[in-house]
Amino acid sequence: MKLKVGDIVARLSYNCDVLFRIKKINNETSLAELTGEDVRLIADAPLHDLKLIDDQEINLRRKVEIERQEDCYRLFNQDYKLIRQKSEYEVTSGYANAKSYFELPGRVLHIDGDPLYLKKCSEVYEKLKVPVYGVHIEEKEMPNQILSLLEMVRPDILVITGHDAYLKNKGSSDDIKSYRNSKYFAQTVREARKFSPHLDHLVIFAGACQSHFENLIKAGANFASSPERINIHALDPVYIVAKISLTPFMDRVGVWDVLRNTLTGEKGLGGIETKGILRRGMPIKQQES
């Protein structure tokens, strides 16, 4: 069967471990450019190494993936309820009859190199009640557009993500030139830090699958991928920044507190201790009946 752009495939040489969508096909070289369905990985593969995945297997894998995501969401919600109970007690001074109050969670600017992933992430932000402004931009264009977006949106949190990969044939894993898009992510972080240098005034997540973690942190990111150069899940950035957005600004969030509810964990994600952003106020004007 002839493969075409948009087909869901897996690589035979990797035991079909990851599902990819074909983004481009070069008929002259018989190479396909692939993007991960659930992980933020971009790869090239010869057409003869690709297996077309049928609908039955796609549905089976998606069922497993949805279960993983629901487990992650459930754990996050448990954590958030504990944070909320603690802060509700503090904001009402522990009185039994709590006054009405309103909340201002941290606002997120999420720029993503993949429009499908951006849509998936936006749906989770909505479920978590985190305000977000999402923009699809190709990775190489991110450094050129970030300042105008920051001026327009004025976010508390910035997510810089998309697709990436470490290319062994390009050189050492310590060399940022050996990565598809890490250099663009790092440039974007540096530009953002010109706009807002303080780590707690603008919280930044940067990176994708196999990204150059150390360079992204050095550039000024609070959180980044990927310490052990492994693949990260498409939704991992959401769970990291949602934790910061929904944690009161008087509280600091430890790195493990952020990572434990992600789908990938500390091998693929890391960062530095960061302040929460949520603020509460009172009273709320009561509606007249």
Q: Tokens 């994708």 correspond to what residue? A: 208
> Which residue in 105, 151, 155, 164 sits closest to 134, CA to CA?
155
Q: What is the mean pLDDT of residues 216-237?
A: 94
pLDDT in tens, 1-42: 689 999 999 999 999 988 999 999 998 899 999 988 888 888
The answer to whether 278 touches 246, Cβ cutoff 8 Å, is: yes
- What pLDDT is stored for residue 269 in this prediction? 95
**CA pair distance 65, 59, nearest whole angstrom:** 10
Query: Is 95's pLDDT higher than 50?
Result: no
- Give the pTM: 0.85
* CATH classification (class only), 72-281: alpha beta
Six token digits for residue 258: 């952020």
Task: Give the type of residue at 240.
Answer: I
Least confident of 21-35, 48-62, 66-80, 172-186: 66-80
Closest CA to 120 of 61, 40, 43, 44: 40
Mean pLDDT score across all residues of the chain: 88
Contact 40, 162 (CB under 8 A): yes
For the chain, give every domain's residue range. 8-53, 72-281
